[in-house]
Every structure is written in C-alpha cells, then in structure tokens.
Amino acid sequence: MRGTASRSLPGWAGRDDGPGDEHLRWHHVVQRWDDTAEPGACAFVGFRSDEGVRRNKGRRGAAQGPDALRRALASMALPSPQRVFDAGDVEVTAGDLESGQRELGRVVTGLLDAGQLPVVLGGGHEVAFGSYLGLVNSEPVVRGARIGVLNLDAHFDLRADPIPSSGTPFRQMAERERARGADFRYAVLGISQPSNTAELFATADSLGVRYLTDDRCGVFDRPLVDGFLDEFLDRCDLVHLTIDLDVLPAAAAPGVSAPAAFGVPVETVEHACRRVAASGKLALCDVAELNPDLDIDSRTARTAARLVHRVLTEPTRNGEPR
C-alpha cells in the first residue's frame, strides 16, 4: 500500500528496504492531498512561521520546523499500512501572522470537514491559534460539539499582550470561546513554575485552566497523569492536542526557543499522546517550536517525529485503525 506520489513531495524521502507492506516507512505512504480523497486518513500541513516567536522576543528559526519534521518522520518504519496525505505549507510572510493564522484555519477546516485528521507541523506556538480557528469553524463544532484543548507545554501562553504572539494563543482562544458562548476547556500538562509569573498562574486560575506542573509528571507519577487526562477527556467531545516541544528536557529537545532546565520525561509526553489518540476524541494535533538552527544531531526533530508517529499509529476515532 504505497503512496504513488510520495517521492515527488518535498521532504518525503528516505530508506527503502524493498517492496511489500512489511518494509513500509512513512515516505512510502504519503500522498499529495486531493480533496476528492475518501475520509478517514490523516493529512499533514506545515505552518512556516516564527513571527510569533519574534514578537515574543524568542529565538527565531521555527519557520524551518515543518521541513525538519518531515525529514525526521520520513524513514520511520510503520507497523501497518496508513492512509496519509500532505496538504503542503502555509507560510507567514512580511510579518503578517494574523493572515497566516486565518489561512491555516481555512485549510484545517477544509480537512476536518473532509473527514481527515489534520496534523499541523509548526512553526512557533502561534500555530495553535490558527489550528483552533480551523477546528472551531468545522461542521461538528458548528453543530455543537464541545472542544477541549490539551497543551503539552512548559508555558501557559495566556499573555494579555495587545499584539498576538507565540505567548498569546490560548488567551485568544479563551476570548473567542467566550464570544461564542462556549466554555473554555483548556488543560496544560508540564507547566514550569519558574517559567510562568504569578500573574499567569492567576490568569489560568481565573479562566478555570487545569494544569499539572512538570515536577508532578515524572515516570512514577503515571496514576496522577492518567487521572488528569481522564478528567480532561470526560469534559469534551473533540480534542485539539497541541505539543510544544519545550515541555521536554533540554537533553531530548535542545532545538527550541526556550529549552527546559527540568522538563517532562519523553515517556510521560508520549504516554499522554497515546492516551489521547486511543480515546477516539482526537480531532486535531499540532507540533510547535521545532527550531532546526538550534538542534543538536536532529535530536529535537527525531523526538518530535516519534511523538507524531505514536499519535498516528494508535487506534483512532471510533476505535478503528486508520
């Protein structure tokens, strides 16, 4: 089950051990997106932006993240055939972040309404608001489905800055949810206390945000993490999973704008991804803050690819494999 167009797609090239499903890797199955495709697949979208990081006074370079993530994922071996598409990139140009986010939202809405699972490859964490715009305008949400946003992140990203940035996406979501008369169901796993001011904690509390700090997310804290995830999943119908790679320890993810001095173990982050994927509620996933210019031996890109791989090789909606 090989994608006939995979070798002509930018970034999707890799090792080939021979014909047959027993040798499948991601680059074998990825096909160019066609809106006539039947529902039930996943579709990658790149968001080439570090404008939000620049505005947030971070280290730029995340605009190259989508290319690096595709390269890292391409040669990973698949346990079984997958139906996978690549819808190309949305690029932020001339500093116009807001237009880029709206365009990303338009693309994501189209994929969701076509019955696909969008996986957005960032880009700074401003990608999350563009992804959210796509979900909130999709048919299931318009019909009343409850959105839940699960952020794997060292930061709340709830800043009240007048100019949107990588530090504001979830504050923007809260305002949008309030405007449409919906509850803001936002949970964060991996919050670093030294990386968030008392004002940000107060904002989170005022918005009803659930969170677990990084020092309560160790490999021996699995029951606490599972309880946190189960409570979140019980409160929503559709999940927007957003992964900011700076949630991970710097040894696993050096290639981010703000490497973590402590961080959440890869095992815990991967477990959270698997649990959400297996819930049958995952509607959308994005990955943020991969900065190849700051990476070491492609360590961050490989870790990010492993997390995407895990999300997409778990049982998905309705308990059926994709």
CA 186 – CA 175 distance, rounded (Å): 12
CA 274 – CA 281 distance, rounded (Å): 12
Q: Is 153 annotated as a binding residue?
A: yes
Q: Are 85 and 34 in contact (CB under 8 A)?
A: yes
Q: Are 269 and 243 in contact (CB under 8 A)?
A: yes
Residue tagged 């709206």 (tokens): 102
Q: Is 157 annotated as a binding residue?
A: yes
User: Over the range 254-268, which residues count as b (16 or more CB within 10 Å of their CB) and which as e?
Assistant: bbbbbbbebbbbbeb
| Residue 260 per-residue DSSP state | B
Partnered with residue 238 across adjacent β-strands are 147
What is the DSSP pairing of strand 282-288 with strand 117-122?
Answer: parallel
Q: 225 φ, ψ to 5°? A: -65, -45
Q: Is 155 annotated as a binding residue?
A: yes
Q: 289 φ, ψ to 5°? A: 80, 15
Q: Is 27 annotated as a binding residue?
A: no
| Residue 211 per-residue DSSP state | E
Q: 311 φ, ψ to 5°? A: -60, -40
- As a whole number of Å, the end-to-end CA separation of the chain is 13
Give the sign of the dihedral formed by CA 275, CA 276, CA 281, CA 285.
negative
CA 175 – CA 109 distance, rounded (Å): 20
Question: Closest by alpha carbon to 171, among 198, 137, 145, 200?
Answer: 200
Q: Is 295 annotated as a binding residue?
A: no
Q: Is 226 annotated as a binding residue?
A: no
Question: At 275, which helix (H) or strand (E)?
Answer: helix 266-278
Give binding residues for Mn(2+) as ranges. 125, 153, 155, 157, 244, 246
Give binding residues as ranges. 125, 153, 155, 157, 244, 246
